[in-house]
Amino acid sequence: MQDMSAYALDGRTAIVTGSGSGIGRGTALEMANAGAHIVVAELQQDAADETAAMIRALGRRALVVATDVTSVESVENMVAAAVHEFGGVDILVNNVGGLGPKPKKTTITELEIDEWESLLRLNLTSQFICCKAFITLLLRSDRRGVIVNIASLAALVPYETSVVYGAAKAGVVSMTQTLAAEYGKRGVRVNCIAPGHVRTPIPEALYQGREELRAAQNRIIPVGRWCEPEELGRLAVFLASDASSYVTGQTIVASGGMTYFLTKVH
């Protein structure tokens, strides 16, 4: 008889940051499908409640915690709430990030220092804050743990007009390697996903009415289309499960085979 239990997350608890939308929601739902209970750590209450309802419809428990991942205090409170509800946490998915609420052209000469610092905080410092809180929790107990960081293909190839985004995501790749090396012997695995184009609300809006650009983009993607959030969610499930027990410190590129960005889009 086949035994697929290594691929399952039965009974585990996963914090998924920014799981009110896009890749975070897709990951939360796929992890719930695989058997995990989910902490929806999200800034927007309504979006978080919607995700929680979807998780409960799959028969798993969901805890919504209003969280700002750029704040140490907020993240520590969220982790404490997760422990209070579930008794511990096994998985952290560091998903929050992006180009900010108003994505715009940002070559180095146009980028102000406060915009640089704010996008660095959203994309890199937030993951440091969450990793620190989670690893501190694991070290206080005898639990093993898994971290999945979300970076971007922009960490690995140039993405015009996005100097801070690429730099921050490259930092995520590096932090993944360092934490994997530092905590591997303690039973903590840390991996990273670098997505290409994913069909989530902000990039969809950037391409709205620019069908020629979208078609050109699809031509340089070997699989010929954008990624669905759930497809990344299933990769995150694999990285969080015992099926990937000998994989750590790695960045998995999920770009449909795309190896460079075509052009600037904002």
Task: Verify whether residue 7 is a known catalytic residue.
Answer: no
Contact call for residue 150 and ligand NAD (CB under 6 A): yes
Contact call for residue 97 and ligand NAD (CB under 6 A): yes
Task: Considering only residues 178 through 237, tell me which ones interact with ligand NAD, judged by CB under 6 A.
Answer: 195, 197-198, 200-203
Q: Which pair of tokens denotes residue 116? A: 């640089």
Q: Which is nearer to ligand NAD, 195 or 256 (CB)?
A: 195
Query: Do 177 and 238 touch, CB atoms closer than 8 A?
Result: no
Q: How large is the angle between the packed helices 126-140 and 163-183, nearest 10 degrees?
A: 10
In the complex, what is the shortest distance from the CB of residue 182 to ligand NAD, in angstroms, rounded to a whole number? Answer: 23
Count of residues near ligand NAD by CB under 6 A: 28
Query: Do 33 and 238 touch, CB atoms closer than 8 A?
Result: no
- DSSP-derived secondary structure for 46-68: HHHHHHHHHHHHTT--EEEEE--
Q: 64, 69, 192, 265: which one contacts ligand NAD (CB under 6 A)?
A: 69
Q: Which is nearer to ligand NAD, 16 or 188 (CB)?
A: 16
Q: Tell me, what DSSP letter sits at residue 40?
A: E
Residue 253 main-chain phi, psi, to 5 deg: -85, 125
Q: Hey, which residues are catalytic here?
A: 165
Q: Which residues bind ligand NAD (CB under 6 A)?
A: 17-18, 20-24, 42-44, 47, 67-70, 95-98, 150, 152, 195, 197-198, 200-203
